[in-house]
Structure formats: C-alpha cells, structure tokens
Amino acid sequence: MRSLRGRLLLWLLGLLTVVAMLAGVAAYVIDRGEVDQSLDVQLRQIALNIGDTRRPVSGDGGGVSLDPEDALVVTISDVAGQRRTSDASVSIPLQTETGFTNVTASGEAWRSYTLVEPNRTVQVSQRREVRDEFAASSAERVVLPILGVLPLLWVMVGWIVARALKPLGRLTTQLRGWGEDRTDSLEIHDVPEEVLPLAVAMNDLIVRLDGQIEFRRQFISDAAHELRTPLTALRLQVNNLRKTSEYAGGKAAIDEMERGLRRTSDMISQVLDLARAESKAEGEKLGAVPLEDAIAASVEDVMHLANDKGIDVSLDSATDATVAGHRADIRTVLKNLLDNAIRYTPNGGSVDLAVRRSAESVTVEICDTGPGIPDALLDRVFERFFRAAGNGVEGSGLGLPIVSVIAARCGATVTLHNRRDRSGLVARVAFREAAITDH
Amino acid sequence: MRRLVSLRLPTQVENLRILLVEDDSMIGQSLDVALTGTGMAVDWVQSGADALVTLRGAEYGLLLLDLGLPDQTGVEVLRRLRERGDSTPVVIITARDDLDSRVIGLDSGADDYIIKPFDFEELHARIRAVVRRHQGRSISQVTAGEVTLDLLTHSVTYRDTSTVLPTKEFALLQALAERPGAILSRRQLEDRLYDWGNEVDSNAIDVLIHYVRRKFDKGVVQNVRGIGWRIPEARD
C-alpha cells in the first residue's frame, strides 16, 4: 500500500483490534482465577456445613438446596463405606484425603473438595464447565464494549489521520496549480516539521526551475533578436544585388531569394511573438475591449494579403459586444486566424466573419473557402512547428500555437472545424464577455 | 467644374546628406551601398561617440541610428543630441519590436523607427517621409496608399488623376487618409463629417463614397463589408 493515510489507518486500526482481543483474553484468564478461588471456597463451605450424617442426603440434598445451575454433586460416605449421593447418575471416585482435586468422571471434568472426617467423608464436586462459563461471560463483558467502540474509533482515527495529513494536501494543491506561468514558492508556514525539508527542497527546485524557464525564454528572445541583424544585412545585400545584376536569369533568382529571406524574417517574428506571449505575467487584470474595434483592427492587418489574392473579407452579422482581454492580444488572436484563413484560401475566395453571442460567451467565427484540414489533424495544428503536409503554403507553424497561448490568457477558447456545406475551415474563438464595470 | 491638375511631387531627398550609425559592418556596408545608390551622400560611423563627434562638425539632413550600439545605446545618443539642441531628423533602426522599445525611441525624440529586418524600399520611403515632414510639407499634404491629399487646395491625386473635391467628399477621404490602411466604420466616418460641421443623412456615407469613386475609380476607397471603408495600400 503506497498511501500514507491508508497505511496509518491500517496499522492503527489493526493495533486497536489486537488490543481489544488481548484485553478479552486477559479478562478471561484473570477472572478464571478469581472464579476458581471463590467457587473453591464455596465448595469447602458446603462440605463443612453439609449437615448431620444421620440425615439422608438424597432427595433434598441433605438440607442443602442444590441449584442445578451450580451443577453440584455431593457424595457422603460413612464409616461403613455406604455412599449417598445427590445425583446417582454420575459417579465420581471418592478421594481419601482432605483437599481439592480435579477429576474426570462420566466424561466430564469436575472440581472436587473432599473432607475426610473420622466418621464420614464428604465430597462436593462441581462441573468445571460452570467455571469456564463464568470466566467467559466476564471476558465478554470486557471485550464487547471495546468491539462496540471499534467502528467509532475507526471513524475518529480516519478523521485524525486526515487532519494530520491536511498540510500535505495543501502542498499538493499548491504544486498542482504550478505551471510554467505560475512559479511562486510553496507556502511553508503551516507545513509539519516532518515534511518541511521536502517543502524547502521543493522551493529550491522551483527557484532553479524558474531560472531555467526564464533563461530559456531569454535565450529564445535573444537568439531571435540576434538573428535579425544578419538577416537585415542579407536583405539589404539582395536589394543591392538586384540593382547591379546584369545576368538575365538573375531577377527570378533574386526574387526567390527575397521570398526566402522574408519567410525567415516572418518566422523569427513569430518565434518572438510566442516567446513574448508565454512570458507575459499571468493573473494580469483583463481589460474590456469593444469587439468591433478589435475586429476592424485585425482585418486592417490582413487586408493587403487579402487584396493581393483577390479575397473578399466581410463581417456578416455584427453584435455590439465587449469582451475580456487586452486589445493587442485580441487583435493578435484574430489577426493570426484571419491570416491563416486568407493564406489557405485560393485566389478569389472569401473569408467571412460572424459574431454570435450566447449566455456564456461571445464567439467570433472565421469561415474560409480553403481546403479545410483533415479531421485527424484538427488538434495537431495547434502543436508548435506542425504543418499539414502538402498544402504548398508557406508558414512558420507557430501561428496557431501563438493564438492558443494568447487566447488562454484572455480566458478564450479556440476551436477549428471543417465546414459541412463545402470545403473550408471554420475557426471559432469564444471570448468571455467583459463584466460591466461602473465608470 | 472639374479641374485636372498634373501634380509631380518633387522629392528633396536625392542629394540628402545622411549619417549612418550602425555597429554591424554587414548591415552598415549594405546600407551604405544601397543609400548611396539612391543618390544620397552617406557617412558611416560605428559608435555612439563617433556619431556625436561627427554631428558636431557637419550638418546632416538625416541621422539613421541603430539602437544597439556597443558603447552607448542609441537612445542615449539621441538624448544627448537633443539636449544640445540638435534637431537633425532621426530614424531609429531597432531589432526590438516590443511596444516599450518603440515608445522609448519615439519619446527620446526620434522622428520614426524601423524594425529589423526591413526591406530597403520601406526604409527609403520612411526616410523620404521624415525629410519631407521636416521641410514643412507635411502640414499641407497627406498620403495614404496611392491617394495624396493637398489640404490647402483640396486637390486629391489618385494614380494619374488629380481633381479638386467638394468639402464633404474631401473630409471623408481625409479621415481615411490620416490613418493609412485603417478601416473606418460608418459611425466613425459620420462622426468625422459631423465634426466638420456637416449635416449627415442616413445614407450620406454611401452617397459620398459613390461620388468619390466616380471621380477616380472603384479602387480608390475599398469597402470591407460589415466593417467599413479604407484606402488600400499601393499595389506593386
């Protein structure tokens, strides 16, 4: 069993059960001794006071009232050797000396007291069984209450163990809420002494990890920035080459080169966007952004691309809505989705936007007339650097990852679906409607 | 009524003397060649200190300043320059495209910035714009895409056609041209016309756009259905 709690419960409850059993056994043993003693005294009293020898013992037991419960047999033998007994059905051998003996007669165990007097011998015997019963019932009296309390104890032990383990639970909750964006140290002021070293070690680890994450972000950012310098030089050199090239096929080659350089530049910008999106502090207070403005701004960003391809961009059903987030973030999310839609839509196609409002959210829908995405790949396109094969479109493979990181920060969700009516993709962003604030 | 005017914009940047401050020799070398190729006279230094010394000794039409210099940041160079009363126009070149860097650059007195990596044509266009603005021409001219508005004469030039527009039509085009590429909604355009003291009918915008398009062609103002209107970028 790997659970501390389970182990503690098992051991504590096992222990309690064993204690209850031991108490029962002890009560039995001790009581058995006491019962023996007192009944022995009783036997002796009976023997001493059994009455006159001349009176017959049979019938009424010689003046002694014999309770069948006591299981007593009295035997009196006179000098002549004539025996009288209170119960003729059992014959217990008569002892010749005064004192206690254990005998077996008629298949039963007996305890006898024999009193040898000059004129007679009196022997009082009692079934040992009676004594066992006395002891057992006394042990029962001890064990039963303990057994009765046992379920209650289980519950209480369970509660106590749970309480004692609560700080561990809190640590776990804190650690669970801990991600790349939230790396606060664990609160250790109420952590039990036994777990403290673990928590402290964990905090050290968090600090180091935090440093690593920061290092990684910084490295990506620095590397991308550094790459921009030689890339700028290359682009300038290609530009200069264009001016001086006299070779007839040179222009096409230079065009190709420029395209490649532009693509590299775009990719570096996207890497930086992603690094920046990931490093922005979580828990920042979200603003309220008029969706109409954000849509207009994001459409502005992609209009040149749409115009180049003769793609018709339109907003079909507008709703006045204010959504939670930062203006720049919402613009980036919509811009990236629009950019994808336009990129993958063939020349002369259309990209339609629509805004729908529901009780929980305000959804912006971007619907294109491109080829769509095979259903099996719909989730994978959110992976970094993933690009569906053979679409012939140049992209960094970072657009959608950036969208999902930024959208998550606004509490928005992004989903992609293939169109049912024709080929094409529908991207839906469900924003949270901004709470109405007093001005 | 319609007056067609041939308007050729003279650019004063052909003989511009330009100081390039760029520590990276690859970029410096290429920029030097490219700028010289456009007829500018280029001096190239590789540190902030050299830049400040050079600027004391000679007058330049424009300073092209890289922000990531080895000895001091470009922003510091710019600040010192402005402190000593030098108002040479400055275009910043930066690899940092986050908002803070841009704001800091413009706040320290730069006239414009361009982010690496850039196309030379774009840099050239910005240099021309900054120089023109410095020569006091910006007050009278607004350019967006292929549309140029003369604020004094209300003459509008689109591609090869120039014409003087009536007040409302001009106001509409000016609103669109002031933010090149931006999409303005019907409400925003109505507000602008209203600010200009014009009565605005419910279909006023559509009518005005119709008139403007008739004078040039459909491409002068682009409609984005459901969102608004904009002046498209120049086509290659």
B contacts of A243 (beta carbons < 8 Å): 34, 37
d(CA A24, CA A140): 7
A contacts of B117 (beta carbons < 8 Å): 228, 231-232, 234-235, 261, 265, 268
Taking residue B145's Cβ as centre, other Cβ atoms within 10 Å add up to: 21
Top residue of A225, A231, A232, A311 to mutate, by most chain B CBs within 10 Å, is A232
Residues ≥6 apart with Cβ < 8 Å to A50:
A57, A62, A63, A64, A74, A76, A122, A124
Given CB atoms, is B9 within the 8 Å cutoff of chain A? no
Task: Report how far Cα A35 is from the mean position of its chain's Cα atoms.
Answer: 56
**DSSP β-bridge partners for residue A130:** none
A·B CB contacts under 8 A: 99
CB contact under 8 A, A240 and B27: no
3-state secondary structure chain B: CCCCCCCCCCCCCCCCEEEEECCCHHHHHHHHHHHHHCCCEEEEECCHHHHHHHHHHCCCCEEEEECCCCCCCHHHHHHHHHHCCCCCCEEEEECCCCHHHHHHHHHCCCCEEEECCCCHHHHHHHHHHHHHHHCCCCCCEEEECCEEEECCCCEEEECCEEEECCHHHHHHHHHHHHCCCCCECHHHHHHHHHHCCCCCCCCHHHHHHHHHHHHCCHHHCEEEECCEEECCCCCC
Exposure of B16 by Cβ count < 10 A (0-12 exposed, 13-18 middle, 19+ buried)? buried
Structure tokens at A106: 């008629």
CB burial readout B115-125, b (16+ within 10 A) else e: bbbbbbeebbe
CB contact under 8 A, B117 and A300: no
CB contact under 8 A, B182 and A300: yes
What's the one-letter identity of residue A50? I
CB contact under 8 A, B95 and A314: no
Rounded to a whole number of angstroms, the distance from the CA of B60 to the nearest CA of chain A is: 23
Tokens 């007669």 label which residue? A105
Residues ≥6 apart with Cβ < 8 Å to A326:
A284, A286, A287, A289, A410
CB contact under 8 A, B26 and A312: no
Task: Report how far Cα A405 is from the mean position of its chain's Cα atoms.
Answer: 27
Query: What is the average per-residue pLDDT within A66-95?
Result: 77
d(CA B122, CA A391): 30
Looking only at Cα atoms, what is the longest distance across chain B? Answer: 62
Q: Phi first, then psi: give them for residue A167, nearest 5 degrees.
A: -55, -35
Q: Which residue has the higher pLDDT, A90 or A266?
A: A266
Between the alpha carbon of residue B213 and those of residues A392, B192, B202, B222, the distances in Å are: 37, 19, 19, 10
Which pTM value belongs to this model? 0.63
d(CA A66, CA A72): 7
Q: Which of A294, A284, A286 lies closest to A327, judged by CA?
A: A294
- Residue A381 DSSP class: G
Residue B99 is predicted with a pLDDT of 63
CB contact under 8 A, A296 and B37: no
Rounded to a whole number of angstroms, the distance from the CA of B136 to the nearest CA of chain A is: 29
Q: Which of B122, B161, B160, B156 lies closest to B141, judged by CA?
A: B156
Q: Which residue has the higher pLDDT, B97 or B46?
A: B46
CB contact under 8 A, A307 and B222: yes
pLDDT score of A21 more than 50:
yes
CATH superfamily to which B17-134 belongs: Response regulator (3.40.50.2300)
In chain B, residues under CATH classification 1.10.10.10 are: 141-230
Q: What mean pLDDT is reported for chain B?
A: 84
Task: Report how far Cα B191 is from the mean position of its chain's Cα atoms.
Answer: 25
Given CB atoms, is B53 within the 8 Å cutoff of chain A? no
pLDDT band at A183 (very low <50, low <70, confident <90, very high): low
- How do residues A320-363 score in pLDDT, each as one tens digit? 889 988 888 899 899 999 999 999 999 999 999 999 988 889 99
Query: Across the interface, which of B119, B224, B233 has its CB nearest the CB of A299?
Result: B224
- How do residues A393-439 score in pLDDT, each as one tens digit? 777 788 898 899 889 888 899 999 999 888 899 999 999 988 765 44
Query: Across the interface, which of B117, B118, B225 has its CB nearest the CB of A314?
Result: B225
In chain B, residues under CATH classification 3.40.50.2300 are: 17-134
Q: What mean pLDDT is reported for chain A?
A: 82
Query: What is the average per-residue pLDDT within A42-60?
Result: 66
CATH topology for the B141-230 domain: Arc Repressor Mutant, subunit A (1.10.10)
Residue A184 contacts residue A202 (beta carbons within 8 Å)? no
CB contact under 8 A, A230 and B183: no
Rounded to a whole number of angstroms, the distance from the CA of A337 to the nearest CA of chain B is: 17
